[in-house]
Amino acid sequence: KAGVTQTPRYLIKTRGQQVTLSCSPISGHRSVSWYQQTPGQGLQFLFEYFSETQRNKGNFPGRFSGRQFSNSRSEMNVSTLELGDSALYLCASSLGSGGAIETQYFGPGTRLLVL
Amino acid sequence: QKEVEQDPGPLSVPEGAIVSLNCTYSNSAFQYFMWYRQYSRKGPELLMYTYSSGNKEDGRFTAQVDKSSKYISLFIRDSQPSDSATYLCAMSWMDTGRRALTFGSGTRLQVQP
């Protein structure tokens, strides 16, 4: 079974631009979560989508948004990019059954550099 | 103060050593505890998860949770150079069907051959 895929793998943008990152979950997985990883803050939860609905949200500004499509694929968008948005953006998928514990499978991430 | 504290390392040990990785947390609502391993330029992969206090063993790995002290540990026996990676602890709770995952900052481990 194919793993979680993320595109693009690397991205360079300038301040003020916007960016869209894509994530394809493992087949059959309905939950997609997004995380931001930086050396200073570590891995921080952005949001989780399940059945095209945002189910949970972390403490990030409204410039960070996401959506999920009917095939469970997800996109996240960052508008008005700031230098501090430079990070590795990780997507994780899970079955989404809401059970006590679910294994989240991470993709390789998209490394975003904002100049 | 962060909800989850983890020593960033790096931690350098000789091959065959026993490695101890630790996290402390402040939020008593956390119920589930996980350890992830992240190799360079890869996403994290789940190593182990535990729910209750106590020990859980899986091969060379043992996860330990002490809820009274808000302290979790991961022990690696007979460490190998292939164990060299960043180890992240993570914690979560269930709230009306939604789940949030909070990570430690990660400890970089280097196992010297």
Among chain B residues, the shortest Cα distance to A34 is held by B101
State whether B88 and A33 contact (CB < 8 Å).
no
pLDDT tens digits along A10-65:
999 999 999 999 999 999 999 999 999 998 888 999 999 999 999 888 889 999 99
- DSSP letter, residue A26: P
Minimal Cβ distance to A101: which of B42, B51, B102: B51
State whether A56 and B32 contact (CB < 8 Å).
no
pLDDT tens digits along B12-43:
999 999 999 999 999 888 888 999 999 998 89
Chain position carrying tokens 């949001």: A47
Is A58 part of the contact surface with chain B (CB cutoff 8 Å)? yes
State whether B101 and A33 contact (CB < 8 Å).
yes
